[in-house]
A and B are shown apart, each in its own frame.
Chain A
Amino acid sequence: MILYLARRLLGVVAVLVAIAAVTFTIFYVLPSDPAAAACGKSCSAERLEAIRAHMGLDQPLWRQFADFTTGILTGRTIGSGPYALNCDFPCLGYSYENSQPVWDLLVDRLPVSASLALGAAALWLLLGLSAGVAAALRKDSLTDRVLMVGAVAAASLPVYFTSVMLIYGLIRVAGLLPYPQYTPFGADPLGWAANLLLPWLALAILYAAMYARQSRSSMIETMAEPYIRTARAKGLPRRTVVVKHGLRAGMTPVLTLFGMDLGGLLAGAVITESIFGLPGVGRLFYGALSTGDQPVILGVTLLAATFIVVANLAVDLLYAVVDPRVRY
C-alpha cells in the first residue's frame, strides 16, 4: 500500500512536470510575445529589450522552464538589480495585467470555484445516481424509459443554453431567486447557498444526465453478476442486495468519472462562471485570455491539471474502500 502510494505520487509529479513543460512550450512556440504584451502600445526598442531581460525571455527555453519550476518549488527572484522582484514560494510569476502574484490571484478566486463545483457535484450525484439506479432496477419499465429519455435530452443541452433559460425562467419571469451575487460562505451561509443555487442547477442538470446514464448501465451490468444472484438466493432482503452488494461494485466506473469531472471543475467552470458573473478561477482565466496575461493562463492550467491528477489519485485509493475486491 505504502509502496503503491509512493509510486503513484511519483507518477503525479511526473505528469505535472510533463503538463507544465507542454503548456510552457506551447506559449513560446505559438507566435506571441509576452514582453510586447507587458510593454504596452507605446514601447521603445530599448524598453522592450529591458523587459525581455527582466522576464528572462533572453534565456534559452529550457533555462526559462527550469527557472519556472524552481520558482514553484522554492520561490525565486525575478529580474535583477533595482527591479528585482522577490517571488515567494510557490511562485507562478506575476500577472502582466495588475502585477499581482499569480498564486495570490488563484488563492483569492479558488473559494468561489470550489463552492460552485462542490455544491453542483453534491446536487448532480444525488439526482444522477438516484435516477440511474432507479432506472436500472426497473429496467425497460415506463420509469426507466422516461428517465433515460430525459437524461439523453438533458445531456445534449449545452450548459450556456440551460443557464440562460434558468436565468430567464427562474429570475426574470418567476422572480424566485436573486441574480447570483457571490457571497462568501463564512459571511452568510444562507446567502451563499441562495446565490449559488442557480449556477449549481445549471451545472448539475448537465452532469446529472451523464451520471444517470453511466450509473444505469453499470448498475445493470453489476446486478447481472453471479454474486448478486448468490446474495439473493441466500435470502437477503432486496434492499441489502442493492445497497450493499450492487451499489458498491456498480459505482466504481462512476467514481472514475467523478474524479475527472470534479477535478476539472474545481479549477473553474469557465462558461458557467462567466454567464453567472461568479468571480472564480474560470472567470480569472477568461479575463486573462482577452488581455493575453500568460502567467495567469499558465497558472490556471497548472492548477487545473493538479486538481485532475490529485482527484484521480484519490479515486484510485477510494476504490479499495468502495470495492472490497480491489487491493493494493
Chain B
Amino acid sequence: MSTISPPSRAGSGPWRLARAELRRRPSVKVSLVVVTLFAVMAVAAPLLSALGGWGPEEFDKSAVDPYLGGLPVGPLGGVSAEHWLGVEPVTGRDLFARVVHGAQVSLLIAFAATAIVVVAGTAAGIAAGYFGGRTDSALSRLMDLTMSFPSLIFMIATMSVARDVNRIVLMTLVIGLFGWPGIARVVRGQTLSLKHREYVDAARVGGSGPWRILTREILPGVAGPVIAYTTLIVPGMIATEAALSYLGVGVRPPTPSWGQMIAESVAFHDTDPTYFVVPSLCLFLTVLAFTLLGDALRDILDPRGSRA
C-alpha cells in the first residue's frame, strides 16, 4: 500500500487507471475471489451437486438418526465422504447440494433485481437531470414517494397475498421496485453537472439529438458512479431476498434459498450447529465481499464520493 507508483504510461485511460488502483488493494483481491467462487457455485449448481452425488431435494433417511429426533448421524452434522457439508436434520437432504442450489436462487434474484434497479434508476436519473423542468419534478416526486414506502413491510405484504405466480419473478420485481430512487438521485446529480460541459455543448451544436447526447455523451460520464453503486446495491438485494425467504414469504420449499435454509435451521442452532452455520456463513461472506468490492469501486470511480 505504501508504494504508490504514478501512472506511468502516457495515454492511460480512466478505466486502466481504475484497474491499476483496484489491483493494489488486498481487500479487492480477496472479495473478488469470494464473489467469483459463489458466482461459479451458483451457475454450476446442477453440475456441482451431481458431482457430490445428491440432488437438493433428495432425501437420505440413512444419514439421520430417527432415535435422536432426526439429528444427522456422525460428527459435525453428518459431514462425511458421502455428504460433504453434512445433511439436514429429519429429512437427510444433502447440505452441500442445497447450499449450492440456494446460491443459485439467492444470487439470481439479487442480480436480476439489481439489474432492474440500475436500468430504471439510471434511466430516470438521466432523464430527470437532462430534461429538467416538469420531467424532473415529476420524476423527483416519484422518487420521494417510492422512498416513503415502508419497503420491507410492503414487500412482505405483497409477497404474502400473491398466490399463483412465479415467486422468483415476483420477488425480483417487488425487490427491484423499491431500489431505484437511490441510484436515480446519484445519476441525476451527476447528469446535472455534466449537461453543460463543453463537450456536451459541442455535440449539441454539432446537431446531435437528445437520444444521441444521452447515450453517447452523458451515459459514459455517469458510468463510473453507476458501476460503483451497482456493486453496493447487490449486498442489500441479497440481504432483502434472504430476509423475505427467512420470513417464509419468499421462494417456497422445497426450492432452497439461503434465507429460507437459515429460517429452517434456527431451531437446530445448538443441536446441529453445522446446519445453522453453513447457510449463514454463505450469506455473510457474499454480502461482505460485495460490500468491500463496492467500497473500493466507489472510492476509485466516484469522484464526489468520500475518498476514504
Q: List A residues at the B interface (Cβ < 8 Å).
A: 15, 18-19, 22-23, 26-27, 30-32, 139, 152-153, 155-158, 160-161, 164, 168, 172, 216-218, 220-221, 260, 264, 267-268, 270-271, 274-275, 285-286, 289, 292, 294, 297, 300-301, 304-305, 307-309, 312
Contacts and interface: CB of A to CB of B under 8 A. Distances in A.
Contact of B308 (A153, A216, A274): A216
Given A30-B163, A158-B246, A308-B149, 16 more contacts: A152-B291, A152-B292, A153-B288, A158-B239, A158-B259, A160-B243, A161-B283, A164-B266, A168-B269, A168-B270, A172-B270, A218-B306, A267-B153, A268-B153, A271-B243, A289-B157
B160 interface: yes
A152 B295 CA distance: 10
Contacts of A139: 308
Contacts of A161: 262, 280, 283-284
B39 to A, nearest CB: 17
Top 3 nearest A-B pairs (CB, nearest first) are: A304-B150, A217-B306, A156-B288
Interface string B261-290: 011001001100000100010011001100
A325 B153 CA distance: 36
B249 interface: yes
A315 to B, nearest CB: 12
Contacts of A289: 156-157, 160, 249
Contact of B243 (A158, A164, A220, A300): A158
A110 B259 CA distance: 28
Interface stretch (B47-55, B124-132, B140-148, B200-208): B140-148
Interface of B: 144-145, 147-150, 152-154, 156-158, 160-164, 235, 239, 242-243, 246-247, 249, 259, 262-263, 266, 269-270, 276, 280, 283-284, 287-288, 291-292, 295, 305-306, 308
Mostly, the B contact residues are helix
Contact of B288 (A18, A152, A309): A152
B109 to A, nearest CB: 15
B301 to A, nearest CB: 15
A306 B115 CA distance: 30
Contacts of A268: 153
Contacts of B292: 152
B144 A15 contact: yes
Given A27-B161, A172-B270, A156 B284 contact: yes
Contacts of A164: 266, 269, 276
